[in-house]
Amino acid sequence: MTLELMQVISNQGVANRDIEPAIPDQDLLKLYRMMVLNRQLDERMMKLQRQGRIGFYLQSMGEEATTIGTAYALEQKDWIFPCYREPGAAFVRGFKLVDFVCQLIGNAGDPVKGRQMPNHYVFKAGNYTSVSSPVGTQIPQAVGAAWASKILKEPVVVLVYFGEGATSEGDFHVGLNFAGVFKTPNIFICRNNGYAISVPRSRQTASESIAIKAKAYGISGVMVDGNDILAVIRATRDAAERARKGEGATLIECVTYRQGAHSSSDDPRVYRPEDELEQSVQGDPIVRFRKYLEERKLWNASQDEALQEEVKQEILNAIAEAEKNGPPPIETMFDDVFAELTPNLQEQKQYLLDYRKRHPASEVE
């Protein structure tokens, strides 16, 4: 079994009509806008991080086609289990930019109440579960959710993201194995972006591809050009259709490239050649999609210029709005450990509040 890389849009922006997914023009432009917003957001947030206005940041630069395309191919009732580099998928689901920025700051407007470090957001209203730092843990969880949807006979598909590094974890094996055995309606999206922090893909597996691993679990495997949003949408739609028909799970390997550092704390110059980055920029997913839109006469340079400015303003407005919030109140630290405060938590909460009365935080240095 050898898997070929599925591609719809060539580097010149020309689509292969045989496999081009049907997408309304209006949606194509929305997708492009979301990719541009995601890219500008990354650039702006890295600046904010360098200015000390947020503590940490994870970019998804270069992977916008993968994260936005996969999420777009689902229905709103479907569930998404994120890794940590898919804010694009949350935005497709309707996650508000201002909530995203509040989460980065960890302020009182943060939907997760300042409990988690930046980029660990949750968007339940969009069936988008919680980001976790431990790698791969979301994979068996996504299988459990899909299994539940199957037991309840609901036509809901569950998609889960992870990087190629996660495929070395036991949870990857465990999750795909359960998915195969119970024929769960899952879509496993491996964002193969070449690196797990500094460690290259070749150090994660000797397998010729990630997608081929599907074979051993008795599920479908597909390898797509992850910088080609139409190929990503096509593969995800096909997988969702199979899952909804009861034909089981699919592992989709999206071959892409992490253009940025792993995180704001990382420096890729230490471990990868800079020309590798230049080569990858030629295959940039946004550039490719724009060529396609231009080729189809749906887009032009002056529209693009206007969009860049519009998106910039939208991000600046979200930051201004988010920064109006103060920190979450101290007493909220004890909420949501359990549904109700246990006696020890009640006691500890009272202690902290009393202590802060005796010694206000502003006085302690």
Partner 1 sequence: MPVMNMIGALNDALKIEMRRDSRVVLLGEDVGKLGGVFRVSVDLLKEFGSDRVIDTPLAEAGIIGTAIGMALYGLRPVPEIQFSDFIFPAYDQIVNELAKYRYRSGGQYTCPVTIRTPVGGGIRGGHYHSQSPETLFVHIAGLKVVIPSNPYDAKGMLLSAIRDEDPVLFMEPKRIYRAAKGDVPEGDYTVPLGKAAVLREGSDVTLVSYGAMVHTVMEAAEAMSSNGGPSTEVIDLRSLVPLDTETMIASVQKTGRVVVVHEAPKTSGFGAELIAQINEKAFLSLQAPPVRVTGFDTPFPYTLENEYLPDVGRIKEAVDHVMSF
Residues carrying an active site annotation: 258, 262, 271
Site for partner 1 (CB under 8 A): which residue of 174, 212, 277, 287?
A: 174
Nearer to partner 1, 121 or 195 (CB): 121
Q: Does 142 bind partner 1 (CB under 8 A)?
A: yes
* Alpha-carbon span 23 to 348, nearest angstrom: 55
Q: Does 218 bind partner 1 (CB under 8 A)?
A: no
Site for partner 1 (CB under 8 A): which residue of 14, 281, 330, 337?
A: 337
Per CB under 8 A, the segment of 35-43, 110-118, 221-229, 248-256 that binds partner 1 is 110-118
Query: How does DSSP classify residue 3?
Result: P
Mark 270-301 as b/e (b = at least 16 C-beta within 10 Å). Answer: eeeeeeebeebeebbbbebbbbbbeeeeebee
CA distances, 149 to each of 161, 262, 313 (Å):
18, 34, 40
Enclosing H/E stretch for 189: strand 186-192
Q: Does 342 bind partner 1 (CB under 8 A)?
A: yes
Q: Does 52 bind partner 1 (CB under 8 A)?
A: no
Q: Does 110 bind partner 1 (CB under 8 A)?
A: yes
Beta-carbon contacts of 197 under 8 Å, excluding residues fewer than 6 positions away, are: 165, 262, 266
Cα–Cα–Cα angle for 295, 301, 303, nearest 5°?
A: 100
**Whole-number minimum distance, CB 199 to partner 1, in Å?**
20
**Whole-number minimum distance, CB 10 to partner 1, in Å?**
39
Site for partner 1 (CB under 8 A): which residue of 11, 29, 55, 111?
A: 111
Site for partner 1 (CB under 8 A): which residue of 52, 326, 343, 360?
A: 343
Q: Are 74 and 89 in contact (CB under 8 A)?
A: no
Q: Does 51 bind partner 1 (CB under 8 A)?
A: no
Q: Does 338 bind partner 1 (CB under 8 A)?
A: yes
* Alpha-carbon span 221 to 21, nearest angstrom: 19
Q: Does 253 bind partner 1 (CB under 8 A)?
A: no
Q: Number of residues in contact with partner 1, rule: CB under 8 A? A: 45
Q: Report long-range pairs for 296-304 (Cβ below 8 Å, ≥24 apart).
A: 298/25, 298/28, 298/29, 299/29, 299/32
Q: Are 286 and 259 in contact (CB under 8 A)?
A: no
Per CB under 8 A, the segment of 29-37, 84-92, 142-150, 313-321 that binds partner 1 is 142-150
Cα–Cα–Cα angle for 111, 141, 124, nearest 5°?
A: 25
Q: Are 220 and 239 in contact (CB under 8 A)?
A: yes
Q: Does 119 bind partner 1 (CB under 8 A)?
A: no
Q: Which residues bind partner 1 (CB under 8 A)?
A: 79, 81, 110-113, 115-116, 120, 122, 124, 129-130, 132, 134, 137, 139-149, 151-152, 158, 170-171, 174-175, 177-178, 181, 335-339, 342-344
